Structure 1
Amino acid sequence: MYFRSWLQPRRGLAIAEACVIGIVAALSAVFLKVGSGWLGTWRVHSSHVLPVWLALPLVGVSFGFLAGFLVERFAPEAAGSGIPQVKATLANVPMKLSWRVAFVKLVSAIIALGSGMTLGRQGPTVQVGAGLAAGMSRLVPTSPDHRRQMIAAGAGAGLAAAFNAPIAGVLFIIEELLQDLSGITLGTAIIASFIGGVVSRLLGGGSLDLNAALMNYSSNFSFPEIPFFLILGILAGLLGALFNRGIIFSIKFYRSLHISLPLRVALAGLISGIVVSILPESFRDNTGLREYVITSELNPTFAAIALVSQFILTLVAAGSSAPGGLFAPSLILGSALGHLVGVGAYQVLGEASLSTYALAGMGGFFSAVSKVPITAIVIVFEMTTNFNLVLPLMIVAVTAYLVAEKVVPGSLYEKLLLLNGITLTKQVSVESILTKLTAKDVMQQRVETLDADMSLEEAKQAFSNSHHRGFPVVEDSKLVGIVTQSDLTKIHNRQLENDTPLRQIMTANPMTVTPTHNLSHVLYLLDRYQISRLPVVAGRKLIGIITRGDIIRAEADQLNGATANPAPQPEPSYVVYQTRSPSIGRGRLLVPVSNPETATALLQMAAAIARDRHYEIECVQVMLVSRHTSPSETPVKTAKSRRLLRQAEVLAKKWHIPLHTQIRIAHDPAQAILETINEQHIDLILMGWKGSTSTPGRIFGNVVDTIIRQASCDVVLVKLGNSQESIVNSQQSTVNSQQSIVNNSSSSSPQSPIPSPQFNRWLVPMAGGPNARVAIKLLPALITLGNDPHIHLTRVFKPLEFKPDMTVLEQAIRQLMRRRQLSSTVIAVPVQADSVAEGVINLVKTQGYDVVVLGASREGLLQQAIQGNIPEAIASGVDITVILVRGAILGDRP
């Protein structure tokens, strides 16, 4: 017990870990410098032994392939500079960071840098230090927060050891990686960075020995030079923005080649070797090139060649995802740019310190690329320890940062992560979560509700079958009340009949919130009225529900950074044609039309429901375009689609129903339908259904699956039987002739009715689910499509059940008989069979029904796929029309 308490992440343990991390990071930085330096020296020597045009490309392609193979085979996370991976890990993205990653990164970076590619070792040392720290933090039982702090300390120590700049290592953590100023984070970062920097300096692991190189050079500047430093900052910002865009373009280009990582890195090594073999001999040593540009006298030609060649070669190397960083190339490019501006200042003013301009250019270009101006200033200052450089550095670095951020906003590292599908979300404090998140962000959209006309007995059964302690009560998808277990307890002694409607028991006009209310307001209402849930409404329409548990989960997700990255969404659909009628209905019914052969039958069903419920009809036609084009910018021809919509107008005039039509251009038909549902506040959608699907992983089909999962309104799917298709086809000529009469005739004589498919014998299987009740509510409207309708309610029982329970069927009959205008015959027909699908199919074949109406199962679609999709089995097994009803109450809340 004492040992376990000693291992807890106290401040003493954190400091001890930071010391060890600093030492280990410094040793790895020194090893990386010595190893890459030794290989680089051997490469340069080989160019003196063999022809340079053979030696350099050969070394580049072979070493590049080996480095890429090590990364791809043993640690794919070690590709690239490594800083984006560390940044993602610190943002709680599940990305591998361990001793294995650190070791592979160290070895592969030595080989890649030794091959002659123009990359740096500072980025790899950041990942190596972070990986070593991550591995050490797993040796003791620490919290995730403590582990993040140690990884940040390791990254800072790696940067400090690479540059011999401990203060810059701390600032880089704060400014770019962790953005955390808590006491223990800052303390461990300072300790690890300073130890890493000091040990690296003692062992000779520094990046540039600029103090010795600049001993004979003056770094003074005068006031008239300030405009030239501003020009240098602007140029560095523009070039840095172009550099960042070039890196992204290069990565995308390599990926378009569809070759493996070893081949990509080998190709980059080959190109680098060929180009360097053509350039002067001084370009074969990258470290010597940096010092030469900084300390050289007036030599604009050499500086221009260095700027152009290093810019191109860095894009070639970095785009291949070779294990190397961008810090060192940024310093070379910045120094070359500064040298050129310094030459211009010398020509105009007669005097200028070229080394001052080169060093200021280094800081400016580094700031523009990495978007860390303070770190850039401190890195150059710590490498030179020259106070005369502070003001020029500040002018150039800040100007370059502002220009680069204006031209190409955002962090390069976050853009690199985005290419791999990783989006970083900023951490939100506990205090701001409740005010930033709204009810719409947290609410559960799939809500189990009860109908206002449901009987007391049915309500009790719903409570017994569910773990919920309360349900919203709706009428035509509109919230009218709420009922809880306590409400049922209070009426226990009132001696109410079991068939008493729920509207007499519920609490009317419950407390609600809108989607835009923030969680602070929601929590206040929950506490103020001592309730456990609040319905979320838009107008009177119920769109979700929110509980205390939902708020707690949202806070936990935000604090742990567990918010899921949203999947890429198709571009929104675009309306190119629409007609509007007077809005006089109580709700809206949506009919997507696409097939002229089934459109008429669907519209007749929609008209029957709309007349019964006093709804308006919204008719939509979706035209698809390629995902490579924008729906709002794609020219389309709508003549054929408008002809199909005019069929709906004919039927709407016949039934005197308000009809709205629209044509949408979209990438995805399901997405366009969902957008229409949300925009037009649809209460019910009626759409065609093939009855089966051959798409792997789909239950009802691509479009229907999405609608049945995500639509907030009632869903009615219709699969027309073979016997109805011939009738529907014969209706086309009648519809067209009536359309011409409506458009051209001025007489007021009544039109002849449109022939309807024969829907007289209706079979409704019942299992007691909520969607079966929704189907029962639709029957009075649908049976008006027939001349002499008969409704048979059935329940399938197992052969071993000798006395079937008829309670569900009796309740459904009572619900139907409450409709006074219902004059059709209603009969209960129990049937025995091994499965529901088998019993219904046999009944259809023996009794000759016209339509089967099914309520969607209470089980989820995944469970249906595993156990068998009953609606699809029935629809495939019969030739008659099958109607599947999924109410807005589908699915249990989690």
Structure 2
Amino acid sequence: MTTQKISKVYHALIHWHDFKLKLFSESILIGSITGLIIVLFRYLLEQAEALRGIIYMRIHTDSWYLVIGWFIVLLGIAYLLRWIVRKEPMAAGSGIPQVKGTILGQMRMKWWQVMVSKFVGGILAIGAGLSLGREGPSIQLGATVGQGISRMLGRTKMEERYLLTSGASAGLAAAFNAPLAGVIFSLEELHKNFSPTVLMSTVAAALTAAVISQYYFGPNPVFNLIDLPIFPVQYYGFLIVLGVVTGVLGILFNKVLIKTLDIFEKQYLLSGIGKIIVPLTLAGIAGFFLPDILGGGNNLVDAISSNQFTVTLVVVLLITKFIFTMISYGSGVPGGIFLPMLVIGALIGGVFNHVLIQSLGFDPYYSTNIIVFSMAAYFTAIVKAPITGSILIMEMTGSFNHMLSLIIVSMTAYLVADIAKSKPIYEELLERSLIKRGKVPLNLTSEKRMVIEIVISSGSKIDGRQVKNIDWPLHSLLISIKRGDLELVPKGETRIITGDFLYILTNIDQAANIRKLADQ
């Protein structure tokens, strides 16, 4: 980092109130641009899925020549997706691990190339029927907008991380009409910081993007679950059992997904385009026999909740959707696992419902509740973000009367995953990406600098200690302490207390070690 850029950081810290207002206004701009991009992304995905449905209707009533033609089209899509991923590797997969890596300073993202590649690749992959979701691409698209605004305005790396987080928040908010979930996910999963500064900027971006999304798509939630009843207290014991079941199955999801990625990377029979042809061919076949497993699958949740399927078909859908999601994501094409994992969670809830009703006399009137709770718990077990899971499901179902039930089942699933020492899936995917890039272990000789913001919570390792008695990582300098509205100039005798915000200048490769200082 140049001296000029470091001086900009000092200026921001000295004029912190003005800096927060500037972030707020820039986040509104990011939210507006992201909202428009995601609206177009969602619209084109809907058109692609509608076109896919028309094609299969024609195929069922037309000659076999059309079948051959459709598989040739799928082959062409496989070629395009392979070209996109080779041209811009950062556009592959979900996009959430890439955003995490960029915020942490461990990855570089060329915002314009990634934006175009992710946008086109996501439409091709999801539109062709692969079991992938729009949320991962939406989050990465929002992050590229944040980075693009930062680069065009010449902002510092410290400010760019805030803007990246704001863009990611706006992306999720616009993708699911879920501004609160967008904010909480960005803070809980991406930025790992709940400071007022990042909270204010992410809220501004998420709300702006959600308003734009709702203007075009309406205020209705993603899942059309009408009149969800209040879950009775006497059934809360079932929530614990459901949390344990989804926790175990969430661990299985993570293990199988990582194993699938390993298989795709290590096998030699399929390479390059062959890895993408396999899931696209399966998608083409599934369109004839089991079209419900194609795409993200949010319509499938509505169908399950309205009891349109027999329990046997729900089991078949659960198994095939799970396997197809593994293969789709394992191919490395652009697309997320966020929405597919929610659909799989709903299918688990459908099976669990049947067991409760048939074996334990459970009232079928509350069947939809179990499906909703199962989605939240399954998401939590996989991502290990219980707050995000609870709020996301509330916004996606349009029901805000089940906070206690959602937290109980989500925390149970979280504890099961935590006891089993299951890693959050996005952290594991990020670690894999860094290893492939040769960036683990971190190179401690890097000369690049960045300013890290950490907040001291109660029980932190350095809570109550003097600055001079703290074992600071190498090449690190504590440059400012924010205590409420006060700015303290750090001295050796200055004592760190709970609630302090520390701003530390360090080598970029020491970022993870700096953040560990705030751990308990």
Q: TM-score under structure 2 normalisation?
A: 0.78
- The answer as to whether partners of 1:44 and 1:284 remain within 8 angstroms in 2 is no
Could you give the per-residue CA deviations for residues 519-571 of structure 1, whole angstroms, max 9, x where no partner exists? xxxx99xxxxxxxxxxxxxxxxxxxxxxxxxxxxx97337962879xxxxxxx
Distance 1:26 1:362, change over 3 A: same
What's the offset of the Cα at 1:13?
A: 2.4
Q: d(CA) in 2 for partners of 1:556 and 1:408?
A: 31
What's the offset of the Cα at 1:59?
A: 4.6
What's the offset of the Cα at 1:183?
A: 2.5
Paired residue secondary structure (1:139): helix
Q: Aligned runs of 1:184-583 on 2, under 5 Å?
A: 184-204=197-217, 209-210=222-223, 213-215=224-226, 217-258=227-268, 260-279=271-290, 281-284=291-294, 286-296=297-307, 299-347=310-358, 348-352=360-364, 353-420=366-433, 421=435, 422-423=439-440, 432=462, 437=471, 556-557=506-507, 561=511
Paired residue secondary structure (2:506): helix
Bigger radius of gyration:
1
- The answer as to whether partners of 1:113 and 1:120 remain within 8 angstroms in 2 is yes
Q: Which runs of 5+ in 2 are unaligned?
A: 1-6, 13-17, 61-65, 443-451, 476-491, 494-503, 515-520
1:26 paired residue number: 35
- The answer as to whether partners of 2:103 and 2:164 remain within 8 angstroms in 1 is yes
Q: Aligned runs of 1:673-688 on 2, under 5 Å?
A: none
- The answer as to whether partners of 1:129 and 1:155 remain within 8 angstroms in 2 is yes
- The answer as to whether partners of 2:130 and 2:294 remain within 8 angstroms in 1 is no
Could you give the per-residue CA deviations for residues 225-278 of structure 1, whole angstroms, max 9, x where no partner exists? 222222211111111111111111111111113555543223221223224433
Distance 1:268 1:346, change over 3 A: same
What's the offset of the Cα at 1:362?
A: 1.0
What's the offset of the Cα at 1:24?
A: 1.3
Could you give the per-residue CA deviations for residues 349-385 of structure 1, whole angstroms, max 9, x where no partner exists? 2513221111111111111111111001001111223
Could you give the per-residue CA deviations for residues 410-429 of structure 1, whole angstroms, max 9, x where no partner exists? 22122112223145989877
- The answer as to whether partners of 1:162 and 1:207 remain within 8 angstroms in 2 is no
What's the offset of the Cα at 1:159?
A: 0.6
- The answer as to whether partners of 1:56 and 1:274 remain within 8 angstroms in 2 is no
Q: d(CA) in 1 for partners of 2:334 and 2:370?
A: 30
Could you give the per-residue CA deviations for residues 612-658 of structure 1, whole angstroms, max 9, x where no partner exists? xxxxxxxxxxxxxxxxxxxxxxxxxxxxxxxxxxxxxxxxxxxxxxx
- The answer as to whether partners of 2:222 and 2:298 remain within 8 angstroms in 1 is no
Q: Aligned runs of 1:719-730 on 2, under 5 Å?
A: none
Q: Which runs of 5+ in 1 are unaligned?
A: 444-522, 525-553, 565-894
Q: d(CA) in 1 for partners of 2:28 and 2:107?
A: 26
The residue type equivalent to 2:427 in the other structure is E
The residue type equivalent to 1:404 in the other structure is A
Q: d(CA) in 2 for partners of 1:315 and 1:112?
A: 14
Q: d(CA) in 2 for partners of 1:354 and 1:57?
A: 39
- The answer as to whether partners of 1:337 and 1:361 remain within 8 angstroms in 2 is yes
Q: d(CA) in 1 for partners of 2:441 and 2:166?
A: 20
The residue type equivalent to 1:226 in the other structure is Y
Q: d(CA) in 1 for partners of 2:455 and 2:401?
A: 41
- The answer as to whether partners of 2:111 and 2:147 remain within 8 angstroms in 1 is yes
Distance 1:398 1:151, change over 3 A: same
1:182 paired residue number: 195
Distance 1:97 1:153, change over 3 A: farther
Could you give the per-residue CA deviations for residues 648-701 of structure 1, whole angstroms, max 9, x where no partner exists? xxxxxxxxxxxxxxxxxxxxxxxxxxxxxxxxxxxxxxxxxxxxxxxxxxxxxx
1:35 paired residue number: 44
Among 21, 26, 35, the alignment partner of 1:17 is 26
Q: d(CA) in 2 for partners of 1:80 and 1:57?
A: 23
Could you give the per-residue CA deviations for residues 758-794 of structure 1, whole angstroms, max 9, x where no partner exists? xxxxxxxxxxxxxxxxxxxxxxxxxxxxxxxxxxxxx
Q: Aligned runs of 1:454-853 on 2, under 5 Å?
A: 556-557=506-507, 561=511
What's the offset of the Cα at 1:99?
A: 2.1
Could you give the per-residue CA deviations for residues 796-837 of structure 1, whole angstroms, max 9, x where no partner exists? xxxxxxxxxxxxxxxxxxxxxxxxxxxxxxxxxxxxxxxxxx
Give aligned pairs, total.
445
Are 2:165 and 1:165 aligned?
Answer: no
What's the offset of the Cα at 1:36?
A: 1.4
- The answer as to whether partners of 1:109 and 1:124 remain within 8 angstroms in 2 is yes
Is the deviation greater in 259-268 or in 375-384? 259-268
Q: d(CA) in 2 for partners of 1:424 and 1:186?
A: 31
Q: d(CA) in 2 for partners of 1:265 and 1:205?
A: 35
The residue type equivalent to 1:102 in the other structure is M
1:100 paired residue number: 113
Q: d(CA) in 1 for partners of 2:340 and 2:30?
A: 27
The residue type equivalent to 1:15 in the other structure is F
Q: d(CA) in 2 for partners of 1:88 and 1:40?
A: 31
1:597 paired residue number: none
Among 88, 91, 96, the alignment partner of 1:83 is 96
Could you give the per-residue CA deviations for residues 288-343 of structure 1, whole angstroms, max 9, x where no partner exists? 22321233257312221121111000000111111000111011101111111122
Q: TM-score under structure 1 normalisation?
A: 0.47
- The answer as to whether partners of 1:129 and 1:154 remain within 8 angstroms in 2 is yes
The residue type equivalent to 2:145 in the other structure is L
1:886 paired residue number: none
What's the offset of the Cα at 1:173?
A: 1.4
Are 2:59 and 1:50 aligned?
Answer: yes
Paired residue secondary structure (1:39): helix
Q: d(CA) in 1 for partners of 2:220 and 2:145?
A: 21
Q: d(CA) in 2 for partners of 1:262 and 1:106?
A: 20
The residue type equivalent to 1:154 in the other structure is G
What's the offset of the Cα at 1:150?
A: 0.3
**Higher share of residues assigned strand:** 1
- The answer as to whether partners of 1:88 and 1:424 remain within 8 angstroms in 2 is no
Is the deviation greater in 86-95 or in 117-126? 86-95
Identical columns (%): 28
Q: d(CA) in 2 for partners of 1:414 and 1:435?
A: 32
Paired residue secondary structure (1:556): strand
**Higher share of residues assigned helix:** 2
- The answer as to whether partners of 1:360 and 1:389 remain within 8 angstroms in 2 is no
